[in-house]
Amino acid sequence: MSDRNDDRKPGEDDESGRNPFEQMFGMMFGQGGQAIPPGQGGQGGGMPFDPAMLQQIMGQVQSMMSGGDPTRAAQQVIERSVPSPDPAVTPETERNAADAFRLAELWLERVIAAEPRIAGPSALNRTGWAKGSLAEWSRLAEPIAANMSDSVLEGLKEQLPPEMAQLMAGAGQMLSSMSSAMFASQMGQAVAALSGAVLTGTEFGLPLFGRTPVLVEANLPGAAAEMDLDPTQLRIWLAARELAHLWLFESAPWLRGHLETALAKYASEVRMDMGAVQDAAQGMDPSELMRMGDKLTEKMFSSETTPAQREALEALENLLSVIEGWTDVVVHAACEQLEQREEIREALRTRAASESEAEAAFAAQLGFSLRPRRVRDAAALFSFLEQHSGAEARDRVLSHPDLLPTTQDLDDPLGYEERRSEAWSSESSLDEALERILREAGEAGEAEGADGPGETVAGEEESSGDTATEETGSAASDAEAPDAEGSGAEGPDSGESDGGGSRDRR
């Protein structure tokens, strides 16, 4: 996009006085949207659409490019897409939820040591959950939105004829706005679909409502009936699970960022399948542009996964399973007074391992799903640690990223501690070896430094000794010389002196 167009608002005409989309549609449908006579389709660079149809299409396109608030647009989609009936939350419903959270908190305090900073609980209907979680879902899906916008622009560049390529510079900003509007609509539809099945605010292991514990009371009676459970007991279990999730994220602040990083890595690998979109668009009525958008989203994302995406998905599912597995063990211990404790646990485990229709719709709209498919394996690991080494060992696993269970640990939960001990022993051995190498290198350096100055001193002392000897011998010779010259009788004395001088020199 050229710099001179950067300050134009979406939909504003370019310097030639014509809107780029007007030119594009003019080349496709005929200048001015004039109907092309039968039998002359394709002549004059147009397609056989009448002016009324073109006007309707242009109106819908301009609406999508109007630059309105995407969040508000998504909320409007939610309002008309949430499954019905969606009963309002009554005072009685709020009291039931508050009582469940109060009891669950008392039970949890007996099995986990935590001082949580948790907000007051909230009971929501489907619309309340969808609107309340929308901002967090939108933030988490930003990499997908960016990929979608890039794919749309690249796809148009490839499909447009050469004479229209120059229009892309002026239309880039408007296409970006249109892509944002499309994604906001998809997000609204996806979250609305999920709202018909979720039971809590941390349904997918994500704290979508911050520190606020949430129960979706609108779905609880139906879920209890479907799983053949007592609604009151299910409500208490769900309240305990919600609090356990939030307490975990409070006690391990790094965990949320770690989870979001894994999700972002996976989301960044999601790609649009432009070929499938184009195939799906064949035979659709262009006058129903919004309906076309709904249909196209069903095949928008590629079903083929790359090795990098499979690796990211495995890491994400493992992490979600670990979070849910820890929560499962803790809540099971806390809710020992519930008569249907085992039935509730098994039903929710089965539910977590399978994908509902709402979740399938969510995956189709946004290209990813969040299923902790290995909850049983993770729960087995935490149960073993708790029974073998106590609650502290169970909770220590989530105290640092390096202690998180791997795929191998989930495959063989009983070997987790042994593998960690071996890893720590290996790391200790490496640390000891490195410390020994550094210590020996330091000692060698000190010895080398000591040897250098010592040799110099010794040499100086030796040289000084020789000089002193020479001076002593010279002095003796000078003292004996007059006696030798004055009397030859003193030769023996002189010889003794010479002998002494020779000894000194030696």
Instruction: For 237-300, give the secondary structure using H, E and C.
Output: HHHHHHHHHHHHHHHCCHHHHHHHHHHHHHHCCCCECHHHHHHHHCCCCCCCHHHHHHHHHHHC
Query: What is the pLDDT at residue 333?
Result: 96
Residue 458 has pLDDT above 60, yes or no: no
Instruction: Give the C-alpha separation, 387 to 410, whole Å.
Output: 17
Q: Which of 212-221, 240-249, 281-290, 363-372 has the lowest mean pLDDT?
A: 281-290
- What average pLDDT does the segment 218-233 reach? 96
Confidence of residue 484 (pLDDT cuts 50, 70, 90): very low
Q: What are the tens digits of pLDDT across the range 399-443?
A: 999 999 999 999 999 899 888 887 665 544 455 556 666 776 666
The DSSP call for residue 215 is E
Residue 481 has pLDDT above 50, yes or no: no
Query: What is the pLDDT at residue 359?
Result: 83
Confidence of residue 151 (pLDDT cuts 50, 70, 90): low
SS3 124: strand
Report the predicted TM-score, pTM, of the whole model to 2 decimal places. 0.68
Answer yes or no: are the C-beta atoms of 93 and 123 closer than 8 Å: yes
Residue 239 has pLDDT above 50, yes or no: yes
Answer yes or no: are the C-beta atoms of 479 and 504 closer than 8 Å: no
Q: What are the tens digits of pLDDT across the range 65-112?
A: 555 678 888 999 999 999 999 999 999 999 999 999 999 999 999 999
Can you list the alpha helix ranges (DSSP code H) found in 109-216? Answer: 126-140, 142-159, 167-195
Instruction: Give the C-alpha separation, 316 to 264, whole Å.
Output: 10
Query: What is the pLDDT at residue 412?
Result: 94
Closest by Cα among 232, 252, 245 to 118: 245
Confidence of residue 144 (pLDDT cuts 50, 70, 90): confident
- Between these two residues, 334 and 189, which has the higher pLDDT value? 334
Q: Which of 41-50, 64-73, 311-320, 445-454 has the lowest mean pLDDT?
A: 41-50
Confidence of residue 283 (pLDDT cuts 50, 70, 90): low
Q: What's at 466, amino acid-wise?
A: D
Residue 35: enclosing H or E segment and its boundaries? none
